[in-house]
Amino acid sequence: MQEIYFLAMIFLSLCLYYMLKNRLAIFFPSFPGMVRIIGRLADIQKSDLVYDLGSGDGRVLEVFAKKGVECIGIEQNGLLIKAAKKRLKKYKNVRLIHGNIFDQSLSKADVIIAYLSRYATRDLQKKIKKECRKGTRIILVSYRFDGWEPVRMKKWFWLGVRLYVK
């Protein structure tokens, strides 16, 4: 009995460490209803360059890939990159980067999609302020930017999906 308790504690500590390490932006996939809202809010144009920050298994990117626009997904988890590559292999307009979003420049982005964590969203806001052009559209799932008013907001049950324009 004590062994099970000990193993459970080790397992929980590892989970906690993993979550803190990622600043709680762990993989939680968008549901189909949320993906549809993101697709609509983006109001995509043919010439847009779309970034999905923390692109997970590529389900959000797929919406934009289908529209034929250039898309870039950045994801730190190698297994999810693999899954996204499999899902998106037929699209030539998608590039997947295995890495940290904070190590990549966002200066060319027209549309940014992010479903991260509160802390990562705060850091992202600073990065966007520094790097992105005026007019860049940013769609945040669940979280919000401090002091910026979203131009549109849609609810998926209790979860807000917000469109900001820099």
Ligand X SMILES: C[S@@+](CC[C@H](N)C(=O)[O-])C[C@H]1O[C@@H](n2cnc3c(N)ncnc32)[C@H](O)[C@@H]1O
Q: Which residues bind ligand X (CB under 6 A)?
A: 22, 25, 27-30, 52, 54-56, 59-60, 74-77, 80, 100-102, 115-116, 120
- Closest CB 21 distance from ligand X, rounded Å: 10
- Closest CB 6 distance from ligand X, rounded Å: 29
Residue nearest to ligand X (CB): 54
Query: Toward ligand X, which CB reaches closer, 25 or 140?
Result: 25
Query: Toward ligand X, which CB reaches closer, 9 or 14?
Result: 14
Residue 111 forms beta bridges with which residues? 50, 137
Q: Which amino acid is at 27?
A: F
- Closest CB 160 distance from ligand X, rounded Å: 14
- Closest CB 4 distance from ligand X, rounded Å: 30
Residues 6+ apart with CB under 8 A from 113: 38, 42, 50, 51, 52, 53, 60, 138, 139, 141
Query: Toward ligand X, which CB reaches closer, 91 or 102?
Result: 102
Write out the two tokens for 152: 């549109």
Write out the two tokens for 79: 């297994």
- Closest CB 52 distance from ligand X, rounded Å: 6
Query: Toward ligand X, which CB reaches closer, 127 or 134?
Result: 127
Instruction: Compute the distance between CA of residue 155 and CA of residue 21 in angstroms, rounded to an integer.
Output: 29
Query: Toward ligand X, which CB reaches closer, 11 or 18?
Result: 18
